[in-house]
Amino acid sequence: MAQPTTATGEAEVQAFLARHPEILVGREAHEKAEEDAGGDTFSIVNKPFDNVVMYQNFNADTLERVSVAVLIDDQKALDYYKKYNKDDAEPEPEAKSCPGCGAGSSRAGLEGPERFLMERVVKCTCPKAPAGRMWSA
């Protein structure tokens, strides 16, 4: 999914982190958060800034976020993101919410790096939606 990132300046990244003290920073914190999250979870990986990869772990039953961590200037994380995300492959902009059932519409107006930070996700209820299609809530 195409996710245009925000041009990164150290001040912007630090301001974002200051607004969201729940975000863990660094590889060690990220790995511990994944370990603590347990096995019945799934992750969403985003890139809110050019040099920042954000990992969010969600409980598979409740769809609530259980942890969020960012890796800054971490080449391993940047390589992972580039390998598994298709930012350059999608010719049209991604919808901000489901046009059929409205899932995600409560967050559709968010801009900047905050649009990547989710407290929970919701499943799309449209009959023809791909299995597992989720939107931020």
Task: Write down the domain spans for the chain.
Answer: 10-136
**Helix or strand run (H / E) with residue 37:** helix 27-37
pLDDT recorded at residue 39: 80
pLDDT of residue 99: 77
| 72 pLDDT above the threshold of 80 | yes
Residue 2's pLDDT is: 46
**Strands 65-72, 24-25: pairing kind:** parallel
Q: What per-residue confidence (pLDDT) applies to 53?
A: 97
The rounded mean pLDDT for the chain is 85
